[in-house]
Amino acid sequence: MIRSEPPVRTCTGCGRKAPQEELLRFVADGSELRSSPRGPGRGAYTCRRLACFERAVARRAFARTLRRAVHVDPALARLYTRTR
Ligand SMILES: [Zn+2]
């Protein structure tokens, strides 16, 4: 019997692996980073924690994962719930 496992992706912030549905997905739209829950193209993922987004930005991990220079709009932080 073959079970289909949910796809696992890696957070670009902390490196944690998690089911894709638990993570936020981003793509490069030209040179802008955009939130894109699904769709074609290479995606970069983070946990739903602001800390992971901030760490990914600080490390330029989105650009590394997407293999192109992307501008990260700080307003994307609104996608996250602040944890403490
Ligand atoms: Zn993370």
pTM: 0.88
Residues with CB under 5 A from ligand 1 (ion): 11, 13-14, 16, 47, 52
DSSP 14-33: T--EEEGGGSEEEEEETTEE
CA of 4 to the centre of ligand 1 (A): 24
CA of 2 to the centre of ligand 1 (A): 30
The yes or no reply on domain 8-79 and CATH 3.30.1230.10 is: yes
CA of 1 to the centre of ligand 1 (A): 33
Q: How confident is the model at residue 82 (pLDDT cuts 50, 70, 90)?
A: low
CB of 77 closer than 8 Å to CB of 50 = yes
- Tell me the pLDDT tens digit for each residue of 31-77: 999 999 988 889 999 999 999 999 999 999 999 999 999 999 999 99
Q: Where are the domains of the chain?
A: 8-79
End-to-end CA distance of the chain: 43
